[in-house]
Structure 1
Amino acid sequence: MKKNLLTTEASDSIITRVKNLSVNHQPQWGEMTASEMLLHCNSCNRQILQESGENKKTTLKQYLLRILALYIASDFKKNILGESRHDTKGKINSAEFEKQRTEFIHLITQFPANTHSLTLPHPAFGNISTHEWGIAAYKHMDHHLRQFGV
């Protein structure tokens, strides 16, 4: 069974790990600072939890990428570029670290408490189910925490 941020067990494990992150942690890959990474994750998680979208036809490429990324590959690949609206490089300074970590923890606790369908189409995977959003969100958070060695 894939780890899913919609479960308390998975969300608690992510929260435990982020509590071990400090403003001084350096990335093992990529260029974001710890504060920029938290801002990025918070932006993505707010969008998943708060926005809905209209279903568009999922392409075969999106479907295959979804199966590969969510069910076959163990981790998301390093250095993959996301949507430009979630690019946080240079948009926050290290003084905001604790505020961003507090927000990160708050948003992660909202996943298992969520009672509505998550209907936002994924930019790379197309239309995905609420359950698949939980898997994708867990893998995304895990990816960035591993990026900083926590």
Structure 2
Amino acid sequence: MTNIFSQEGAQFMISRIEQLTPESQPHWGKMSVDQMLAHLCVMYETVYTDKHPKPAGFLKWMMKTFIKKTVVNASPYKRNGRTAPHFRIAGPRDFEKEKQRLMGYIRQTRELGAAHFDGKESHSFGPLSETEWNNLFSKHLDHHLKQFGV
């Protein structure tokens, strides 16, 4: 698992993102490259903004009890998995804008560092360790960058 909190790990992900073009095509799935970049930004929006409402009640219990393990462990995601509703991106997006936003979020996360995230509450899963946060960020980025061949 790439350490997204390290300079090397963050730069590795950014260099992969920089290889994308507006013409990049997915090896699987239905998202276009601009939608994929926006989709990845949602993960960071849940950390850095209040744009997305937090799940509550039964849904939060389901997320913490059944989905958390899959999201924060070190095992790669399977292709064509289900996407949570607030992560779905409809319509075209500005490729360059989404690309710059995503790279900015990766830089911000690295600058804050692992200690900032250790014990921090996630939008959907409650408090996570720095390892769980790293897995969440790194695994999701890697999954979609592989989807687009970078």
TM-score normalised by the shorter chain: which range applies?
A: 0.7 to 0.9
Match of 1:7 in 2: 6
Q: Distance in 1 between matches of 2:61 and 2:3?
A: 24
User: Do the aligned partners of 2:35 and 2:90 also contact (CA within 8 Å) in 1?
Assistant: yes
Report the CA distance between 1:86 and its aligned residue.
1.6
Quick one: which amino acid aligns to residue 24 of structure 2? H
Q: Distance in 2 between matches of 1:14 and 1:59?
A: 32
User: Do the aligned partners of 2:17 and 2:145 also contact (CA within 8 Å) in 1?
Assistant: yes
User: Do the aligned partners of 2:47 and 2:123 also contact (CA within 8 Å) in 1?
Assistant: no
The size of the alignment, in residue pairs, is 142
Report the CA distance between 1:85 and its aligned residue.
1.4
What is the aligned counterpart of 1:114 among 112, 115, 136? 112
Report the CA distance between 1:139 and its aligned residue.
0.4
CA gap of 1:27–1:76, structure 2 versus 1, over 3 A, is same
Q: Distance in 2 between matches of 1:102 and 1:61?
A: 30
Match of 2:38 in 1: 39
Match of 1:148 in 2: 148
Q: CA RMSD in A?
A: 2.9
Which structure 2 residues correspond to residues 12-27 of structure 1 after superposition, within 5 A?
12-27=11-26
Q: Using structure 2 for the length normalisation, give the TM-score.
A: 0.77
- Gapped regions of structure 2 (runs ≥ 5): none
Which structure 2 residues correspond to residues 32-111 of structure 1 after superposition, within 5 A?
32-50=31-49, 62=64, 66-67=68-69, 70-73=72-75, 75-90=76-91, 92-93=92-93, 96-111=94-109
CA gap of 1:121–1:6, structure 2 versus 1, over 3 A, is same
CA gap of 1:61–1:40, structure 2 versus 1, over 3 A, is closer
- Gapped regions of structure 1 (runs ≥ 5): none
